[in-house]
C-alpha cells in the first residue's frame, strides 16, 4: 500500500534542504555562510514579492509581537541572498512584521538560495501550512501553484501532503460569487456551508442562501437540506427524479471541472446508470477540452 508522504511532501523542506538551494561557500560579505543561521538587520531584508497573503489579522499580529517582545523569536525566518548584504524573505512574513512592530533591529534567519520560481513555490507551500489561513486563501494558493508553478494536481498533492479530493474541494470555492467568498474569509460561514452552496448553479440563489445563513444562523445541515430541496424541485420541473450524488461522484465532478476548466454534470439513476456531460462554449473550446482529455489519457 502506498503511504502518504509527510506534511510538506517534496515541498518546502525538500527545496530548502536540497543541494540546489543550499550552498556552503562564504557569502560575499565574508560574514555569513549561506545555509546557516545568522542574525540579519531588518533593514537589509526586503519583503517577498510572491507573498500570497494580503490579509494579516491585526489582533493576531499584535499578539505575536507581544510574544516576541517577551520571549524573542524562537523560529528563524527564511531568506534568500540577493547580493552584497541584501536579502529577501522566503517565509516568515508575520514574524518579520511583528519584529518591526516591537522595534527589533535584527532577526534570526536561515540564509538560502532560490530562483524566482522556487521563491513562489516556497511562499505558497509555506503559506498553505499556516493554521490561521481561511479556506479562500488556501484555495488561491492551490490555484496559483497549479497555474503559475505549472504543476499537476497529483504533484501538488505530493508537495502539500493533501488528497487530490481535498485540493479539489478548496479550488471549487473560487467559483462561488465574490460575496460568498468574502463571507467565508470573514468567518460568517464555514467551508461546510460553502460546499453545500456550490451545488446551486444560480448565483442569485447562492447569495440568498448566504443571507439566510447569516440572518438565521443556519447550520451546515440546514443548508444541505435547503440545497437538496431546491435541487429536487428543479429536477421535478424537468420531469426527472435524479438521486443526489454520493461523495465519490461529487468529488469526481469537481476534479473533472478543475482538470477541464469547464462545467461538468454527472447524472445517475437509482440503478447506478448515468452519464457525464461536459460543457463547451465554442469549437475552439471543444478542441481545447479534447486536447486536455488526450493528455489525461497519458
20 and 104 housed in the same domain: yes
Q: What is the pLDDT of residue 5?
A: 38
- Active-site annotation holder among 93, 121, 126, 257: 93
Which of 93, 123, 96 shows the shortest CA–CA distance to 15? 123
Distance CA 164, CA 200 (A): 23
Pairing, β 86-91 against β 77-83: antiparallel
Q: Which of 222, 241, 260 is the last residue of a domain?
A: 241
- The CATH number assigned to the domain holding 77 equals 3.90.1530.10
229 and 271 housed in the same domain: no
230 and 266 housed in the same domain: no
pLDDT-derived band at 213, boundaries 50, 70, 90? very high
79: its cell numbers: 531568506
Q: Which of 77, 95, 123 is the last residue of a domain?
A: 123
Phi, psi angle pair for 80, to nearest 5°: -120, 150
Weakest mean pLDDT among 99-108, 266-275, 278-287: 266-275
Q: Residue 22 domain-assigned? A: yes
18 and 119 housed in the same domain: yes
216 and 119 housed in the same domain: no
Distance CA 93, CA 267 (A): 46
The residue among 270 and 95 whose pLDDT is bigger is: 95
pLDDT-derived band at 131, boundaries 50, 70, 90? low
CA angle 148, 8, 113 (to 5 degrees): 65
104 and 63 housed in the same domain: yes
Range of the domain at 269: 245-298
268 and 221 housed in the same domain: no
Q: Residue 70 domain-assigned? A: yes
Q: Residue 151 domain-assigned? A: no
Specify the number of domains making up the chain: 3
3 has a pLDDT exceeding 80: no
pLDDT-derived band at 56, boundaries 50, 70, 90? low
31 and 111 housed in the same domain: yes
236 and 249 housed in the same domain: no
Q: Residue 218 domain-assigned? A: yes
Q: Residue 133 domain-assigned? A: no
Residue 131 burial by CB count (10 A; 0-12/13-18/19+): exposed, middle or buried?
Answer: exposed
172: its cell numbers: 471549487
Per-residue pLDDT, averaged over 218-233, amounts to 83
Q: Residue 141 domain-assigned? A: no
271's enclosing H/E stretch is none
Q: Which of 211, 241, 271 is the last residue of a domain?
A: 241
Q: Residue 51 domain-assigned? A: yes
Q: In Å, how far from its chain's centre is CA 114? A: 21
6's enclosing H/E stretch is none
170: its cell numbers: 478548496
Q: Residue 32 domain-assigned? A: yes
Per-residue pLDDT, averaged over 148-159, amounts to 80
274's enclosing H/E stretch is strand 274-278
77 and 51 housed in the same domain: yes
Distance CA 165, CA 185 (A): 21
Distance CA 16, CA 35 (A): 9
Alpha helix (H) residue ranges in the chain: 12-17, 58-71, 93-101, 116-128, 135-148, 153-160, 164-172, 178-185, 191-197, 203-216, 220-237, 247-260, 283-297
Q: What is the pLDDT of residue 7?
A: 36
20 and 102 housed in the same domain: yes
Q: Catalytic site residue 201?
A: no
113 and 53 housed in the same domain: yes
The residues, any chain, with a CB within 8 Å of residue 52's CB and separated by 6 or more, are: 123, 124, 127, 137, 140, 141, 144
Name the DSSP class of 217. Answer: T
Amino acid at each position: 500500500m502506498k503511504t502518504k508522504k509527510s506534511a510538506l511532501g517534496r515541498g518546502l523542506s525538500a527545496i530548502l534542504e536540497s543541494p540546489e538551494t543550499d550552498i556552503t561557500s562564504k557569502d560575499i560579505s565574508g560574514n555569513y555562510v549561506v545555509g546557516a543561521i545568522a542574525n540579519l538587520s531588518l533593514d537589509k531584508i526586503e519583503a517577498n514579492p510572491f507573498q500570497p497573503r494580503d490579509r494579516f489579522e491585526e489582533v493576531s499580529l499584535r499578539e505575536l509581537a507581544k510574544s516576541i517582545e517577551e520571549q524573542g523569536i524562537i523560529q528563524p525566518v527564511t531568506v534568500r541572498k540577493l547580493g552584497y548584504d541584501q536579502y529577501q524573505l522566503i517565509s516568515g512574513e508575520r514574524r518579520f512584521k511583528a519584529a518591526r512592530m516591537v522595534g527589533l533591529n535584527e532577526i534570526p534567519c536561515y540564509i538560502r538560495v532560490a530562483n524566482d520560481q522556487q521563491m513562489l513555490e516556497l511562499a505558497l507551500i509555506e503559506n498553505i501550512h499556516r493554521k490561521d489561513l481561511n479556506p479562500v486563501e488556501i484555495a488561491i494558493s492551490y490555484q496559483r501553484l497549479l497555474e503559475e508553478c505549472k504543476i499537476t494536481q497529483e504533484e501538488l498533492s505530493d508537495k502539500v501532503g493533501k488528497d487530490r479530493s481535498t485540493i479539489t474541494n478548496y479550488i471549487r470555492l473560487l467559483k462561488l460569487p465574490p460575496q460568498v467568498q468574502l463571507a467565508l474569509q470573514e468567518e460568517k460561514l464555514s467551508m461546510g456551508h460553502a460546499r453545500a452552496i456550490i451545488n446551486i448553479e444560480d448565483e442569485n440563489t447562492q447569495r440568498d442562501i448566504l443571507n439566510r445563513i447569516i440572518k438565521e444562523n443556519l447550520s451546515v445541515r440546514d443548508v444541505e437540506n435547503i440545497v437538496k430541496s431546491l435541487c429536487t424541485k428543479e429536477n421535478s420541473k424537468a420531469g426527472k427524479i435524479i438521486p443526489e450524488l454520493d461523495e465519490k461522484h461529487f468529488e469526481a465532478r469537481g476534479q473533472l471541472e478543475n482538470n477541464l476548466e469547464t462545467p461538468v454534470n454527472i447524472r445517475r439513476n437509482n440503478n447506478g446508470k448515468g452519464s457525464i456531460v461536459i460543457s463547451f462554449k465554442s469549437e475552439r473550446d471543444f478542441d481545447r477540452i479534447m486536447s486536455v482529455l488526450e493528455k489525461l489519457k497519458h
